[in-house]
Amino acid sequence: MRIDRCVCYEKTFVQLQRVAERTRARSLAELQQHVVFGKRCQMCHPYVRAMLRSGQTVFDQLLEE
Ligand code: FES
């Protein structure tokens, strides 16, 4: 399984990572001030948090919080 985006808002983690780098957002809440994602099912949240920690933008394992 390839997990690489917020499906509900069609935002890839690559796109979100670029916004995080440009805005220096360090947390999911900070990132949400600059780009709309993650406000429906929230399944993407653990992946976005991992992305903010590590820069990883593609995941092949299920992550839970
Ligand atoms: S996958 Fe991001 S809110 Fe549903």
Q: Over the chain, what is the mean pLDDT?
A: 97
- Give φ, ψ of 5 to 5 degrees: -160, 165
Q: Show me where the domains of the chain are located.
A: 5-54
Confidence of residue 64 (pLDDT cuts 50, 70, 90): confident
Stretch 50-60: mean pLDDT:
98
Distance of CA 5 from the midpoint of ligand 1 (Å) = 8
Stretch 12-24: mean pLDDT:
98
Q: How many CB atoms lie within 10 A of CB 16?
A: 27
Test site for ligand 1: of 1, 2, 6, most ligand atoms within 8 A of the Cβ? 6
Closest CA to 29 of 15, 47, 49, 12: 49
Stretch 40-48: mean pLDDT:
98
Q: What's the CA gap between 21 and 8, in Å, rounded? A: 22
- Amino acid at residue number 55: G
pLDDT of 65: 73
The whole-model pTM stands at 0.95
